[in-house]
Amino acid sequence: EAQVTQNPRYLITVTGKKLTVTCSQNMNHEYMSWYRQDPGLGLRQIYYSMNVEVTDKGDVPEGYKVSRKEKRNFPLILESPSPNQTSLYFCASSRLQQETQYFGPGTRLLVL
Amino acid sequence: GENVEQHPSTLSVQEGDSAVIKCTYSDSASNYFPWYKQELGKGPQLIIDIRSNVGEKKDQRIAVTLNKTAKHFSLHITETQPEDSAVYFCAAPVRGSTLGRLYFGRGTQLTVWP
């Protein structure tokens, strides 16, 4: 089954404790992206990757890092989480930027 | 202003009525306009998209219309059903440092009352 998986699905952490949210897709897609969803603000892109070892900032990259060492995986790293990073995070993948994006189920993060 | 503006933010309709959600975009060179549906507790899922070489596209009860001159596109849902209740997002490409990256609207919460 074609899918995008994210882990963990739910996470409660404290300010400053480094965390990683994993994302994996099995569709051999080149384009992958991370979004955060906040009430009233819709989906805002954090980082995206056009291919292995090619990443770039989206609209709200501050406080986040990503890496793309393999085509299927695109982890999101929060080196020092802060309460304003409390949000719902989605990973997505597609063959090209302007084709159907397949979203993961989301990761709900609470930073205390 | 925003790259993609979406209206309304909330929409309530009676079952069987039609629903229309509209988005405007800023980049006249944009050529790809998808609509996503997000059900409660799930990730967004593409329901329909349109490219700039056509003015309208239909898929059963769902249609998207595009007006390139006015730079807006709309989602039309006819004969609405309770299962159409969800958040709907439009998106459009935005030029910038990387050509073609999609920018999402803020979403419309559609509620269909039985």
Phi, psi of B85 (to 5 degrees): -60, 120
Q: Which residue among B41, B101, B106 sits closest to A42, beta carbon to beta carbon?
A: B106
Asked if the C-beta of B44 comes within 8 angstroms of chain A's C-beta atoms, the answer is: yes
Shortest CA gap A91–chain B (Å): 9
Interchain contact, A98 vs B106, CB within 8 Å:
no
CA distances from A15 to A4, B16, B26 (A): 28, 48, 38
Q: Tokens representing A15? A: 């300010």
Interface test with A, best of B23, B98, B99, B109 (most A CBs within 10 A): B98
In the numeric block, which tokens belong to residue A73?
């995986």
Cβ neighbours, 10 Å, residue B60: 9
Structure tokens given for A1: 């089954």
pLDDT digits (tens, 9 = 90+) for B32-87: 999 999 999 999 999 999 998 889 999 999 999 999 999 999 999 999 999 999 99
Amino acid identity of residue A80, one-letter, is S
Locate the chain A residue with the closest alpha carbon to B34.
A100
- Backbone dihedral angles phi then psi of residue B55, each to the nearest 5 degrees: -100, -20
Q: Which residues pair with A16 in a beta bridge?
A: none
Say how far apart CA A36 and CA A38 lie, in whole Å: 7
- pLDDT tens profile A5-45: 999 999 999 999 999 999 999 999 999 999 999 999 999 99
Query: In angstroms, what separates the C-alpha of A20 from chain B's closest C-alpha?
Result: 19
Residue B99 is predicted with a pLDDT of 57
The whole-number pLDDT of residue B97 equals: 42
Contact A46, A64 (CB under 8 A): yes
d(CA A77, CA A20): 4
**pLDDT tens digits for range B15-28:** 999 999 999 998 88
Q: How far does the CA of residue B75 sit from the closest CA of chain A (Å)? A: 17
